[in-house]
Chains A and B, each alone.
Chain A
Amino acid sequence: MTSPNNPMIMEEVEDPIANSTEVFKIAASRQYAGYDYSQQGRFVPPDMMQPQQPYTGQIFQPTQAYTPAAPQPFYGNSFEDEPPLLEELGINFDHIWQKTLTVLHPLKEVDGSIMNETDLAGPMIFCLAFGATLLLAGKIQFGYVYGISAIGCLGMFCLLNLMSMTGVSFGCVASVLGYCLLPMILLSSFAVIFSLQGMLGIILTAGIIGWCSFSASKIFISALAMERQQLLVAYPCALLYGVFALISVF
């Protein structure tokens, strides 16, 4: 970074950088421990993905005696060595599709380990889709959708931690509740075409709320091994999805 003429600058700048990046890497690895990055190598902070630095000038030349003993730098010197973007972000479309199918078959037995990897990309897509279908019906209420999801996830997180023997992480709760929002998207797309305020609409709404909360409680029960509490877990889920349905209908 400096020319051989200006090593003083190098020395002043380097120490805080060394400490900070070391701390940053440790913090990043701890923070993202729950994510399935095992196949990718280390996490790359987005700021390092800059294009070439604008300065030309004196670039530091490493001395001959220095040889990097570490394994190859994470994204060596060429663009092609970097892993694909989706893989880095942890978005795995195949997994998302698997989990979606699990939610859509409420009567199928679910495996408890399905939610071991907390994946928020799928739920994000579903939230956006829900907001988009509401937009099609003329209701600009993205804010309410996000706000209610956040409060609902927080409440569910506290409740499940108090009710179960093993605890849950917030990411797991958010992930499950987000995936089970899918039938609600069907409801709001109906609302675009037909009005839901008649008897048929009420029956359809009740059915969809039941479907969503049944799937969510089924996944929670199997993931947390809570016996004889399925209805107790389904009730708060039904309240949460009921609020979403309220937004769709009214």
Chain B
Amino acid sequence: MADPHQLFDDTSSAQSRGYRAQQAASGLGYPATSTLPQAAFLADPVSNMAMAYGSSLAAQGKELVDKNIDRFIPVTKLKYYFAVDTVYVGKKLGLLVFPYLHQDWEVQYQQDTPVAPRFDVNAPDLYIPAMAFITYILVAGLALGTQDRFSPDLLGLQASSALAWLALEVVAILLSLYLVTVNTDLTTIDLVAFLGYKYVGMIGGVLMGLLFGKMGYYLVLGWCCVSIFVFMIRTLRLKILAQAAAEGVPVRGARNQLRMYLTMAVAAAQPLLMYWLTFHLVR
């Protein structure tokens, strides 16, 4: 007697067509009746068909995502910002905490494209901001935990509030750049990278606050605030101001003054946000 599963096996291979032709040939002229066994059997192929449809749909969906992911998230552009190595990260962290001795803030170019962060310490990257952001959330959870105010949904709350402030900053700066009609090569991702550097100072401040109390927190945060202020001014000056002004030659004109004010405003917003996002974590 034929194994019922043999039906599935046979009809999915090439000789099934011969098989079905046989059926058609021998099947003509028979009345169709539906008895109970066939009804029970019919329930199975329907669910199998649904499962087959579902898995084919999943495979198609995956292909669709792979083809279209580039339209929504510029993956190749993002890869540039993650082309870092350990030496670069070390030097950049040092620069964020002590930017006073660094002389040359220009990003080197190589045939019109900026050099990868691996090769130039001045190039912006996204590894440090991303890691700093995640570390900030975990450290905030730790700080709340030591004060017995921890619950896992608070982590989500911290994360989304920090992200919201970041998005607000980016939008505000882009809007003001648009209004001041500055022609810069400062892309949005660059801006996100620069604004993400303040999380490093915030982490330092909160950790010191956990170890040494409020005095430690204020000292370290104050130092990091000043450093990030200087860092932002020196970096953005090259991007936003006109070339002549960037070289230190005083250039007259309302437009340059406006750009100078904009740079200072962006740099001044950093310490304010650093304090705002951390003061409630240290008691």
Interface residues in chain A, defined as those with a beta carbon under 8 Å from any beta carbon in chain B: 1-2, 4-14, 16-18, 20-28, 30-31, 45, 47-48, 50, 53-63, 65-66, 68-70, 73-74, 77, 144, 155, 159, 161-163, 227-232, 235-236, 239, 242-243, 246, 250
B20 touches A14 (CB 8 A): yes
A21 touches B48 (CB 8 A): yes
Task: Show 16 A/B contacts (Cβ-Cβ < 8 Å), sorted by A.
Answer: A6-B35, A7-B26, A8-B31, A14-B7, A16-B49, A17-B48, A20-B49, A45-B51, A59-B1, A59-B2, A66-B18, A73-B3, A155-B134, A163-B84, A227-B85, A250-B145
CB-CB < 8 A to B5: which residues of A? 48, 50
Tell me the minimal C-beta distance from B44 to chain A in angstroms: 8
Contact A53-B86, Cβ < 8 Å, known A1-B38, A20-B49: no
Alpha-carbon separation in the docked complex, A61 to B48 (Å): 23
B127 touches A1 (CB 8 A): no
Tell me the minimal C-beta distance from B233 to chain A in angstroms: 28
CB-CB < 8 A to B31: which residues of A? 5-6, 8
Contact A232-B84, Cβ < 8 Å, known A17-B7, A25-B12: yes
Alpha-carbon separation in the docked complex, A198 to B6 (Å): 65
Q: Which of B75, B82, B87, B130 has the most CB of A within 10 A?
A: B82
Tell me if B79 is interfacial: C-beta within 8 Å of chain A: yes
A54 touches B49 (CB 8 A): no
- Closest A residue, CB atoms, query B8: A21
Interface digits, B49-62 against A, CB 8 Å rule (1 contact, 0 not)? 10111011011000
A8 touches B37 (CB 8 A): no
Given contacts A1-B7, A55-B41, 4 further A-B contacts (CB under 8 A): A18-B20, A21-B8, A22-B11, A163-B84
Within 8 A of A (CB), among B14-53: 15-16, 18-20, 22-24, 26-28, 30-38, 40-42, 44-45, 47-49, 51-53
A1 touches B41 (CB 8 A): yes
Contact A48-B8, Cβ < 8 Å, known A23-B53, A55-B37: yes
Tell me the minimal C-beta distance from A160 to chain B in angstroms: 10
Contact A55-B30, Cβ < 8 Å, known A23-B52, A27-B52: no
CB-CB < 8 A to A61: which residues of B? 1-2
Alpha-carbon separation in the docked complex, A57 to B40 (Å): 12
Within 8 A of A (CB), among B63-96: 75, 78-79, 81-87, 89
A73 touches B82 (CB 8 A): no
Tell me if B248 is interfacial: C-beta within 8 Å of chain A: no
Tell me if B9 is interfacial: C-beta within 8 Å of chain A: yes
CB-CB < 8 A to A58: which residues of B? 37
B15 touches A68 (CB 8 A): yes
CB-CB < 8 A to A163: which residues of B? 82-84, 127
Main secondary structure of the interface of B (DSSP, over half): helix
Give the contacting residue for B27; candidates A11, A47, A53, A74; CB below 8 A. A11
Within 8 A of A (CB), among B227-247: none
CB-CB < 8 A to A236: which residues of B? 131, 134
Alpha-carbon separation in the docked complex, A144 to B197 (Å): 30
- The 3 A-B pairs of least Cβ separation, nearest first, read A7-B27, A55-B37, A24-B52
A20 touches B86 (CB 8 A): no
Alpha-carbon separation in the docked complex, A4 to B52 (Å): 29
A27 touches B59 (CB 8 A): yes
Tell me the minimal C-beta distance from A42 to chain B in angstroms: 10
Contact A65-B2, Cβ < 8 Å, known A162-B82, A236-B131: no
Count of chain B residues near A, Cβ 8 A: 69
Tell me if B281 is interfacial: C-beta within 8 Å of chain A: no
B23 touches A232 (CB 8 A): no
CB-CB < 8 A to B22: which residues of A? 63, 65-66
Alpha-carbon separation in the docked complex, A69 to B41 (Å): 26
- Closest B residue, CB atoms, query A231: B86
- Closest A residue, CB atoms, query B7: A1
A47 touches B48 (CB 8 A): yes
CB-CB < 8 A to A65: which residues of B? 22
Alpha-carbon separation in the docked complex, A18 to B11 (Å): 5
Contact A9-B45, Cβ < 8 Å, known A1-B4, A18-B16, A77-B3: no
A232 touches B59 (CB 8 A): no
Alpha-carbon separation in the docked complex, A59 to B41 (Å): 12
- Closest B residue, CB atoms, query A28: B55
Alpha-carbon separation in the docked complex, A63 to B131 (Å): 68
Contact A228-B20, Cβ < 8 Å, known A7-B26, A8-B32, A144-B152: no
Contact A2-B85, Cβ < 8 Å, known A14-B23, A17-B48: no
Q: Which of A21, A70, A228 has the most CB of B within 10 A?
A: A21
CB-CB < 8 A to B42: which residues of A? 13
Tell me if B220 is interfacial: C-beta within 8 Å of chain A: no
Alpha-carbon separation in the docked complex, A231 to B87 (Å): 10
